[in-house]
Copies of this chain bind each other. A is one copy, B any other.
Amino acid sequence: MRVLGVDPGLTRCGIGVVDGLPGRQLRLVAVGVARSEPTAEVDQRLWRIEQQLEEWIEEHGPDAVAVERVFAQHNVRTVMGTAQVAGIALVAAARRRIPVALHTPSEVKAAVTGSGTAGKSQVQTMVARLLDLSELPKPADAADALALAICHLWRPAGALGAPQRAPGALTPAQRAWAAAEQASRRRG
């Protein structure tokens, strides 16, 4: 299963593509950032981001698109652009009949670090570890997009589109995650 994660933003929009299946190591497919020129008009900026998102979707053919859920309480100066980019990502997926999911920042942090209040560097560290990367994914927007994709691959059994499993049973991926979490605690 291939998931394209989107960390929405008007100046920098993180995009990360991850393959994963129960019992298999997660695999980084591609990661990057869609950008728009801050001095351009907002309609042109949104369109530019849409074009880049569509190129990523066309190139990587994800089975699902996971987008960070934006809250009105976010940074007031940027929240409107962030929400609009999230909306554009949702429609770009919907037009191609690709299922989408929204995950909150806390869900994403908890999925990859075990804590819903983890900091940016902790998320980057765990994303690098889980994807077996030799370097931290940068910028943070790119790491967040990968974390979103991982969060979606690891969403609880019974969630939208997830394969059904007996309650309490951990998938191999979830066991790997638990082990990584424990390893992280020992090192911390």
- Identify which of B50, B72, B73, B90 contacts A42 (C-beta below 8 A): B90
Residues of B within 8 A of A100 (CB): 41, 43
Residues of B within 8 A of A149 (CB): none
How many residues on the A side are at the interface (Cβ–Cβ under 8 A)? Answer: 27
Interface of A is mostly: helix
| Cα–Cα distance between A76 and B72 once the two chains are bound (Å) | 6
| Cα–Cα distance between A83 and B43 once the two chains are bound (Å) | 13
Q: Which of A46, A86, A87, A102 has its CB near the most chain B CB atoms (within 10 A)?
A: A87
A150 interface residue, CB < 8 Å from B?
Answer: no
Q: Which residue of B lies closest to A98 (CB)?
A: B43
Residues of B within 8 A of A94 (CB): 43-44, 46-47
A133 interface residue, CB < 8 Å from B?
Answer: no
| Cα–Cα distance between A70 and B72 once the two chains are bound (Å) | 12
The 8 A CB mask of A63-96 against B (1 = contact, 0 = none) is 0000000111100100110011111101101110
Given A70-B80, A83-B80, A47 and B88 touching (CB < 8 A)?
A: no
Q: Which residue of B lies closest to A99 (CB)?
A: B43
A-B contacts, 21 of them at CB < 8 A, read A41-B100, A43-B90, A43-B91, A43-B94, A43-B100, A46-B94, A47-B90, A47-B91, A72-B76, A72-B79, A72-B80, A83-B83, A83-B84, A83-B87, A84-B84, A84-B86, A84-B88, A84-B90, A85-B87, A87-B87, A88-B88
Q: Which chain A residues have a beta carbon within 8 Å of chain B's beta carbons?
A: 41-44, 46-47, 50, 70-73, 76, 79-80, 83-88, 90-91, 93-95, 100, 102
